[in-house]
């Protein structure tokens, strides 16, 4: 039995040893640069653990021995789950490992954008002056927080907003009555979230029905003083439309932990002071990463023991 850790998973010695009791383990670092490199690393493997590597039909066709792909993430949009299932390959993910980590980053981005913290920091460093006048911000207390997607992370963001005295509205096809009882979140149609919120925060998975869900039409509904936060996936937002809204002053700012740097709009986005960018660090807290790799390893062990868990489903079309 060959087990391959395909890319940059911060896997502990303890978890490597757990896998080694069930087969020959090979651990690689760095994201493979090509299909050929993926195949070279994983040739003959029955079990693959990976985080960032894209696994599509071409990869799967070149790895006929693979039985399991254990993904060290919640999202599996970089894995062709449907193609894997057709080939008899199980895909497992790690749900809900970074709930607090992502929710806290969303709150941090709200504060950073609303209080203009990064641009104020740059100003002090550049000018060595205490010039506070250009950096008047707005309080979160009393503002309306619109939560798009009230799964485990969205619910935690709503609770944090409630603690700060924010009013809460939300959109989700599956409303949480408990969330309404606990923090008073009101469910409204998606367009009303954008019309009525001072801050809109996105917490939905990337699927065909959510890809580019935030388009120019929705952005035009937002108040000029509103900001948008995205700690999920870049392709939830039409990035060019977001740039247009920001440049034209139709919205006040954005906090993005997910950006498509290869899109032609990225150059404009990087120049905007009212945008706070982070390099997809929502999950990257010590506690969350330890939990992530432990569950990713457990998924592999459970599969090999004939008791699989956390099986990912192909996206609905």
14 is catalytic: no
The catalytically annotated residue of 181, 248, 262, 286 is: 262
What are the boundaries of each domain within the chain? 2-97+286-304, 99-277
**Residues whose CB is less than 8 angstroms from the CB of residue 20 and which lie 6 or more positions away in sequence, other chains included:** none
State both tokens at 21: 């009791």
Residue 316 confidence (pLDDT): 62
262 is catalytic: yes
Residue 314 has what pLDDT? 83
Residues in a beta bridge with 156: none
Q: Is the dihedral of CA 227, 233, 239, 241 positive or negative?
A: negative
Task: Classify domain 99-277 at the CATH topology level.
Answer: Rossmann fold (3.40.50)
User: What does R_g of the chain's alpha carbons equal in angstroms?
Assistant: 21
67 is known as an active-site residue: no
Please identify which of the residues 67, 280, 298, 302 carries the catalytic annotation: 280
pTM of the model: 0.87
**Residue 315: predicted pLDDT:** 73
CATH of 2-97+286-304, one of 3.40.50.11740, 3.30.565.10, 3.40.50.1240, 3.40.50.720: 3.40.50.720
Residues of the chain whose pLDDT is less than 50? none
pLDDT of residue 89: 97
């Amino acid at each position: 039995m060959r087990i391959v850790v395909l890319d940059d998973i911060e896997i502990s010695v303890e978890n490597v040893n757990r896998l080694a009791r069930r087969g020959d383990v090979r651990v690689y670092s760095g994201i493979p640069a090509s299909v050929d490199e993926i195949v070279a690393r994983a040739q003959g493997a029955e079990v693959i653990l990976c985080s960032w590597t894209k696994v599509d039909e071409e990869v799967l066709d070149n790895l006929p021995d693979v039985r399991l792909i254990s993904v060290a993430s919640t999202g599996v949009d970089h894995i062709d789950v449907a193609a894997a299932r057709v080939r008899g390959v199980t895909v497992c993910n790690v749900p809900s490992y970074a709930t607090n980590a992502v929710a806290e980053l969303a709150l941090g981005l709200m504060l950073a954008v609303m209080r203009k913290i990064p641009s104020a920091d740059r100003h002090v460093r550049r000018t060595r002056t205490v010039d506070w006048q250009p950096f008047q911000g707005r309080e979160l207390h009393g503002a309306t927080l619109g939560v798009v997607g009230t799964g485990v992370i969205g619910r935690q963001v709503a609770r944090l907003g409630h603690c700060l005295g924010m009013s809460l509205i939300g959109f989700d096809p599956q409303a949480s009555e408990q969330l309404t009882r606990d923090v008073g979140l009101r469910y409204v149609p998606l367009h009303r979230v954008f019309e009525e919120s001072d801050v809109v925060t996105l917490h939905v998975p990337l699927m065909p029905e959510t890809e580019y869900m935030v388009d120019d039409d929705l952005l035009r509904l937002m108040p000029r003083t509103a900001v948008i936060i995205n700690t999920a996936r870049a392709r939830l937002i039409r990035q060019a439309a977001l740039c247009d809204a920001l440049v034209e002053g139709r919205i006040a700012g954005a906090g993005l932990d997910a950006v498509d740097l290869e899109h032609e709009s990225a150059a404009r986005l990087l120049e905007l002071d009212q945008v706070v960018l982070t390099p997809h660090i929502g999950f990257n807290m010590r506690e969350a990463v330890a939990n992530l790799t432990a569950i990713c390893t457990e998924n592999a062990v459970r599969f090999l023991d004939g008791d699989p868990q956390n099986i990912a489903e192909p996206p609905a079309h």
